[in-house]
A and B are shown apart, each in its own frame.
Chain A
Amino acid sequence: MTKSFFAFVVLAAAALPHSAHADDAKAGQELALDRAKGNCLACHTIKGGDAPSSVGRELVGMKRRFPNRADLVEILTDEPMRNSIAPMPPFGRNHILTRAEIEKIVDFLYTL
């Protein structure tokens, strides 16, 4: 019964118009830095991060490099599909991240 109530609250909140891009970017940053989630610092250097990883490219100038948001979503969803030797895990395809989480991380990436 409690579960249904919370579900209602969540759906209601989702249905309300949200201008929460800033909130999403913040949530995205947490997801990106979370070792159990994006763990992006394992391979990428990110401003504000504490690891000079170099397996992947530094995540900077993202708006200029990826003007098409769908490309970033695709990269986070299944990069090995685009590049067969990519060391990047297929975060979306293998359920490491949900679609919603990926969208938030993309919001964060666009602040870099």
Chain B
Amino acid sequence: MVYRNANGETRMIKSSCPGRWALARTVVCALLLAAAPAKAADKTDPETDRKALQAFFFAKFPKVDKAEFGNGPYAVNEEMRKQWTDIMQFPPYEIALDEGHAEWDKPFANGKHYADCFDNKGEGIRQTYPRFIAETGQVETLEGAINRCRVENGEKPLDPMTGLMASLAAVMSESSRGKPFAIAIPDDPRALAAYDRGKEFFYSRKGQLGVSCASCHMSPAGERMRGDILAPALGILAAMPIYRSDWGSMGTSIRRISTCSSQTRAVPLKADDEDYRDVEYFLSYMSNGIPVVGPGTRP
């Protein structure tokens, strides 16, 4: 008798007892089979989630090339794309890139550089963020890593939402353009737990408006909300950091996530709150295979 145990693994019951126990065995098997599927459904498998979510969006937007999903509204709406093409004659993030390069090349007071904090000198690695850090048991975003670099070298941390931080993030993103997201969930229950929390955050209704991230960025993706087109969740962080016309300035993922919180009439959490880092982790993992396109621009 083959069955699935509580961990979803296939097991076999070998009976060494003759027929008299057959009924008992059948009952036990039946109970195990009845119990196991429920447990298996609860157990997280990020790869299954990712494949399902990507299939959902590829089916929803069959004309959109996989590589285009990072462009959000511009990928799924012709009219928006035309506006975008115009804007991109003079990309509004160029100033941030200049500022970012200047800052990146400047040594800290102790003589070290940003490049010393990162693998490959910080080039072509943005697509691996956020990362799960075993030492802290926490998810670290790109901005978190940049601030950790500063603090470890005696500098003050930056406002993670905009300004110089966004400029530095823009530099790192630019060097990863075209590289597909490659978020790792190491074989560590804490990492899986962080992914799970991120998934829960994504699907939980919040704020007085009682909507979740999924409420707008799953089924209604591509639909019009007044003058905006709702971006699909797939690739939604690939263009970060963005110059958002609405802000008239640059913003990192956390700035956008935090603004979304307020828009649901929820009091935003602290910028480095675990919930925000975990949902970035979840969203980025969901986009594994989708190329980075940042820095970007949005309406």
Contacts and interface: CB of A to CB of B under 8 A. Distances in A.
Direct contact of A and B (CB under 8 A): yes
Contacts of B210: 80, 89-90, 93-94
A87 interface: yes
Contact of B224 (A55, A86, A90, A94): A55
Interface string A81-95: 000011101100111
Q: Interface on chain B toward A: helix, strand, loop, or mixed SS? A: loop
Q: Interface on chain A toward B: helix, strand, loop, or mixed SS? A: loop
B221 to A, nearest CB: 10
Contacts of A53: 223-226
Contacts of B220: 55, 87
A54 interface: yes
A43 B220 CA distance: 10
B225 A89 contact: no
Interface stretch (B211-219, B232-240, B274-282): B211-219
B226 A94 contact: no
Interface residues of B, number: 17
Nearest to B226: A51
Interface string B192-226: 00000000000001001111001110111001111
A95 B208 contact: yes
B230 interface: yes
A61 interface: no
A94 B209 contact: yes
Contact of A94 (B208, B216, B219, B225): B208
A85 B227 contact: no
B25 to A, nearest CB: 39
B216 A55 contact: yes
A51 B230 CA distance: 14
Contacts of B215: 85-87
Contacts of B230: 55
B209 A96 contact: yes
A32 interface: no
Contact of A54 (B216, B218, B223, B227): B223
A43 B225 contact: yes
Interface of A: 41-43, 51-55, 80, 85-87, 89-90, 93-96
8 contacts: A42-B225, A42-B226, A51-B227, A53-B225, A80-B205, A89-B208, A89-B210, A89-B211
